[in-house]
Structure 1
Amino acid sequence: MNSSRAIPWLPALAVLGSVTSLCIGTSFAKKLFPLVGAEGTSALRVGFSALVLLIFWRPWRWPLSRRDAGYVVRYGLTLGVMNLLFYLALRTIPFGIAVAIEFSGPLAVAMWSSRRPVDFVWLASAVVGLVMLLPLGHRSALDPVGVMFALAAAVCWALYILFGKQAGHLHAGHSVSLGLVAASLVVVPFGVAHAGVRLLDPGILAAGLGVAIVSSAIPMSLEMMALKRLPSETFGIMVSLEPAVASLLAMLLLGEHLTPSQWVAIGFIVLASMGSTATARRARPEAAELAG
């Protein structure tokens, strides 16, 4: 039926919207680093996101079993640690490079959970694109501490995908809002310890609220909707759009122009994303027929 064929494109659009919103929010978040540091910025982002989604979704309306609570807590704690580590990485290495390094997490999930040969074609295309985006010929070495923070964030991103899938049967607003509450328990204490009363400045609070909505509240809700409808390997490959979107937005917002090889890399990543979506669409009707 036409409706069943259209289903995979709905979560695909949700992932695209999530990635775009996240990159825009992160670009503006970096401007707060000189004021409250990476820790303070992360605390504002996660803390306000939790408050916004609690008010919007009112998760107390839905029952939550002890088992599901465990899923949500693991999902949220991983999200908080991932956010903090990534912002710490952004202090010393460029945004695009940090995204590329962090993306090794979902790529590992895609490789580990893949079951069809065609998935490896799209995975290989994504890997080629990411390798081309890395500034391997850069004269100055990347800060090793920043790289380690990005690699640790990659591990958390892989766990976030797996834990998010476990909680995928819950309503997206339910799991995301409660997950961000758990994440704030990790991130906010670090931010308060680092920035202190500077976090109470009205201008900083307003900026933090905007960053939270654009870079956390909107993307997290869209991602949970996508996780409920896409297999983890397809989701992992599709978010390969993030390095490409980050590069495009860096050019538009920050004046960072891409080289020809980077444009080619974007093409490889888009190919991987579109290909994985197309093959997932064909696979679902076949699975339904086998189940019947």
Structure 2
Amino acid sequence: MKSLYSSLGLLLIAMFSIQFGASFAKQLFPLAGAAGATALRVFISALVLSVVAKIWKHKISKKEILPIAAYGISLGAMNLLFYFSLERIPLGIAVAVEFVGPLSVALFSSKKSWDILWVALAGAGIYMLLPVASSSTAALDGLGVFLALAAGFFWALYIVFGKKISKATGSLQTTSWGMWFAALVTVPAGFIFNGKQILDPSLLPMGLAIALLSSAIPYSLEMKAMTNIPTKTFGILMSMEPVVAIFAGFVMLNESLTLTQSVAVACIIAASAGSTATAK
């Protein structure tokens, strides 16, 4: 029981680490831009994870290159689009909308009558976040919502490809190799959109902090936590990540949600947790 509680604690720390890392990244946008911040995060994360995982001791075969490349490219596109969405909408909402990706993977792999309810809840939540559903000045930026949905699409691909390669090498080694392929997406984008800014050496300390908070630390903690937490419990707890994101956005970025936006996020969280709870 103690190991379960300690694993739950590690998982909570990982969620807070990821979302506070995203808050720090958003504060970096005025200096490095969304693309620049993504490039710094992914590149530095690749370096850190490579050292921790000692990937030079775990070479990948020719058969593994393509699936790991697909995994990494999906990871890079997911991070880039997510940071682009953060430029336009609050952190908590961006995380909630992005959760449609893993939710879709779960629903497509299930054929239960409960799934109709989860699809309806998620659809209602997304609709309430669209500008067409609100005529008030608090209406969200439509492009920001679309970018978060696009990030969710690549998150779904990341999950699909990640499952295929999970047995290829050790988990952290696979993530490290995938992160380098992700860098092939994010670093060129960083130079295209924010080439001059990301070459500023004064940004490296904050880039390192974001890489550690958003990738190296949470990945390591999640892997350790998963050894003692049942898969279904893990999925339900991860569904609460938008709540952590809302808290981080409020504390670090002074972002708050309207009542409608809060209800919309609650619908998406309920859909995600419900689909996990009713899954086989």
Contact kept, 8 Å, 1:107 with 1:237, in 2: the verdict is no
Distance 1:45 1:133, change over 3 A: farther
CA contact (8 A) 1:162 1:232 kept: no
The equivalent of 1:185 in structure 2 is: 184
After superposition, residues 12-27 of structure 1 pair within 5 angstroms as 16-27=12-23
Aligned residue type for 1:107: L
CA deviations over 1:61-118 (Å, ceiling 9, x no partner): 124333333222111110001111111111222222222222211111111112566x
1:256 deviates by 4.0
1:187-210: per-residue Cα shift (whole Å, max 9, x none)?
011112322243233321110110
Aligned to 1:44: 40
Alpha-carbon contact 2:103-2:275 (below 8 Å) kept: no
- Residue 66 and residue 131 in structure 1: after superposition, are their counterparts in 2 closer, same or farther (change >3 A)? same
Aligned counterparts of 2:7 and 2:112: Cα–Cα separation in 1 = 20
1:57–1:177 contact (8 Å) kept in structure 2: yes
1:202–1:210 CA distance, 2 compared to 1 (3 A):
same
Tell me the TM-score normalized by structure 2: 0.79
- Superposition map of 1:198-217 within 5 A: 198-217=197-216
Structure 2 residues not aligned, in runs of 5+: none
Whole-angstrom distance in 1 between the partners of 2:244 and 2:124: 13
Structure 1 vs Structure 2 CA RMSD: 3.9
Deviation (angstroms), 1:149: 1.7
Question: Relative to structure 2, which stretch is displaced further, 214-223 or 90-99?
Answer: 214-223
1:251 paired to 2:250: yes
The verdict on how the C-alpha distance between 1:139 and 1:259 changes in structure 2, with shifts beyond 3 A counting, is: closer
Contact 2:18-2:215 at 8 Å conserved across structures: yes
Match of 1:92 among 81, 88, 108: 88
Measure the CA separation in 2 of the matches of 1:69 and 1:14. 32
**1:36, distance to aligned residue in structure 2 (A):** 1.2
Aligned equivalent of 2:78: 82
Query: What are the within-5 Å matches in structure 2 for residues 1-292 of structure 1?
Result: 16-114=12-110, 120=115, 123=118, 127=122, 134=129, 137=134, 139-140=136-137, 141-169=139-167, 170-222=169-221, 238-256=237-255, 262=262, 269=269, 273=273, 276=276
Aligned length in residues: 275
Change (3 A) 1:150 1:124: closer
- Overall identity of the aligned pairs, in %: 41
Letter of the 2:37 counterpart:
T
Look up the SS of the partner of 1:114 in the other structure: coil
The answer to whether the 8 A contact 1:89-1:98 is kept is yes
Distance in 2 separating the partners of 1:103 and 1:12: 21
Q: Residue 89 of structure 2 aligns to a residue in which SS?
A: coil
Q: Which one-letter code corresponds to 1:165 in the other structure?
A: K
